[in-house]
Structure 1
Amino acid sequence: MTKVRLPHELIDWIIDHLHDDRAALSACCFVCKAWLASSRYHLFKDICLNYYCDDILALPPPSMFAVAARRLTLSNKKFLPPGIEHFSSINSFYLVVLTPNADMLTRIPLLFSRITLLELNQVRFDSFAHMVQLICALPNLETLTQHICSWIHQEVDQPLAELRLPPRLHTLNVLSLRHHVFLDWFNALDPLPPLSTLRLYNVGEPHVSSMGTAIKRLGGSLQHLTLELCVQNHAGPILFPIPSRNAPLTTSVVCIDFLAGSIDLNHSVNLRSFTLIYGWPKLLHRILLTHARHTQLQHLILTIYEGEDNIPNLDLLDWRELDHFITAPSTAFRLMDFTVRVSAHDRVSFVNQEMVETRFAPLAGAAGMVKFVSEKARLLKVEKSMSMRGPVVLNSWGELVSR
């Protein structure tokens, strides 16, 4: 029998196809020596350095972890541990639950200047200026995620005037209780980086003005916009009451007018997708109707809460008006899909696809365009699928919200 020897490029392609199957990759490691490097390349692409990282860092260079790692997570550290310099080939860096000292902030840009993705997850800086200095010192940064970051000195010390965000930055994801501080500094920059994706979460009333200015200044570079309204802050009072059938009309009108007047999309002429989370249909309709110059807008997503007595807030949508809005030749919109996500407050949502199809969809002539998604089921699925498949399983907030 003649032995068939596959080209190594074909073997690499097969192993690349198994990049998310740890069991198969582990089996490939034992097939032959030629398969080992390619299998390890995917097995050890995600490395987390936390309390128990001494054994990994003590390996003599070049260790298989340092060579294969492309996404590095540093968790619960106040300084950069010895040996971390061998991971200088990574392209994504995650700082999670830590308080960096001055040495760490100085060395990170020197060791990891090539990273294109930085995620700051529950990082407590000494000051706001220190956080900005770290971000601006990474010349190749393309994606920046800030998730509940804070600083010890609460007074805002302004960063150096000459600091600028990296010129290649195109994606900004932010969840913060002090959005306006970062956005006010961002709005003062000249020029701004050409952001194509902006996702702002936990947006409350104090942040709306700064948010509106940032959207307006980004103008034609903005292609994907996600806004999550803060319906309730951590102290309890509601910032943006979501209108219901029993809510006073004046409250609904004030909220809609205030937000619709602040979110000016007239300058976002290249906007392709717009997601409004925990908003309400009339607000979305007002924003789009007031700023109807979006010839590129293709994807629209609205996440709303389920109403009282298990009655879906989908009743708040004027489906005939929505149909006319999407399909009328006089409008500039060319939507491909409009997805409605329904989220229950503390229980499983009673709204389902059958209810949408039988009760609401017949009223919309744009058949097949309006889709329903259970928000709770969607998030559970996303969290499961976004688990990092490296030696340490970790959920990345930035990748979670990008889905």
Structure 2
Amino acid sequence: MTAPEERLARAALTRAVEPGDEHAGRWLRRYGAVGFLQRLRDPDLGPYPDRDPGPDPHPGPSGTEPFAGTGRKRVDGWRRRAADADPRRDLDAVDRLGGRFVVPGDTEWPRQLDDLGDARPIGLWIRGPADLRTWALRSVAVVGARACTPYGAHMATTLASGLAERGWVVVSGAAFGIDGAAHRGALAAQGATVAVLACGVDTPYPRGHTELIGRIAAQGLVVGELPPGTHPTANRFILRNRVIAALTRGTVVIEAEYRSGSLVTARSAQRLGRHTMGVPGAVTSGLSAGVHELLRGEATLVTDAAEVVELVGDMGQLAPPRRGPVLPRDLLDPAAAHILEALPAGGLTPVRAVAQRAGAAPDDTLARLYELHSLGFVERQGDGWRLTNTPTEGSNARRGGT
């Protein structure tokens, strides 16, 4: 379990440092959370005060300045915000919500987030009854356009509900459009869903999803890197997407333009070695242009939950084989189907002519014609045979019908 002073320091740093700041991540790795915060609050502290630290397994830039190599403007910003941080107040605020603050080293910490390296979250503020680490082990991200089409909303809802019914956790960003449809699909199936916010977990955003985010907090999990009371910015939405990608075993994109935050999530997933999937749309739709670009690369085309699980699930969890409807002709014995193919589309044809066209013996041909007659494919008139006047699926196809 993480030491109390480490937890307090990380809580303070979530207010001092913007999410995904790799410069801060490097110093956090070098000094530890307590040492990093001390150096932010006391400018006189050098790299290693009062002791010889021994060899550094991850050396940073040399010099007497503890943050040598990081821009002065960036460090000054960290220091101003660190001076105002009150981690105990923030921890009390999330506790009053029934939430918690999870940091690396806790049993609930999802270790796949460590794949982000120095861009790893400092900690995660969480609302909801479930264990994030357990849920993340079997989770899929479903993301896409905010201004989605009815087709996109339908696909997000049905795909998410299908994943939930198969025991998978649906992760998204609680935004309008595809995100909201995915969350609702999982909730409607009485399944598990996680909303990763670009703000404090006590600050529902967008406001129009206040009720939805409340339902997710009660039935699933609401997660954020920023402390209580923090509001979103455009940059924080983009940075939030790397957490969605790292937390899950794969990302599905449903409708995204060429410039889209959803594509940022998908490309983050690709860099992390996660599965990247896309649901195709109309080629004339600009909302699907980004998805189609992904599909031309390394992304995999999927159309339903079974195909997603085939990629991200365990060995043997294969999607059912795809085929069109079974027509009566599909059920014919191959020899009978061959004779049916040999019967011309128009007029009466003698048995010998049919046999010659099929390359079969006349007696065998006659036996197959009577079999086809009993099934309604052909009829006899005198010594000739022809296709039935009422076309079946088989004969209709032979005549070029639809």
- Report the TM range for the smaller structure's normalisation: under 0.3
TM-score after normalising by structure 1: 0.22
Query: Which has the greater radius of gyration?
Result: 2
The structure with more helix, counted as a fraction of residues: 2
The structure with more strand, counted as a fraction of residues: 1
